[in-house]
Amino acid sequence: MITILALGDSLTTGYGLAPDASFASRLEQALKREGRNVRVIDGGVSGDTVHEGLRRIGPLLNYRPDLVIVEFGANDWYMRLPVEGIKASLARIIDKCRDAGAKVLLAGVSSLAGQGEDYDLRFHNLYQELAGEKNVPLVPDFMPGIPGNLELTLPDGLHPNEVGVAAI
């Protein structure tokens, strides 16, 4: 059996959705439909920043995941946390996952905008830079075309609804 850990924030855990509609649950369902023997663990916590994810990663690695999907940044971006600190914490998460024998897929949230052109640019670039530095595959935008599309989000215009999660 392949074990995947979906580590992240409310975008991972499915804020406002039933547990079976979360990203982790939908990913597991989709992979099983393809005949894969897989378990996807929901390691998302609504409101988490990457720094909080770094504090939580240790016990989650006890599941011995083969792959960790690392999706953080929306809350960090919203709070305008220092980009250098976000990048450093993501790098430490990647290192801890690798030290535990897991492969890593980094997922960015580059569709967010509105914190100022300079901050937004530095924030969006950090994922590409880190993926190159750590030699990990990157999904540049975890939810392309979803923020602001009320057919794909909850009324807040950010968090994916069930249709939005299916699109991811």
Catalytic residues: 10, 156, 159
Give whole-number Cα distances, 88 to 31, 120, 132, 136, in Å: 32, 17, 14, 15
Neighbours of 45 (CB within 10 A): 17
Question: Which positions ≥6 away from 159 have C-beta within 8 Å?
Answer: 10, 11, 15, 16, 153
User: What's the alpha-carbon Rg for the chain, to the nearest Å?
Assistant: 15
Angle, CA 14 vertex, CA 56 and CA 165 arms, to 5° = 130
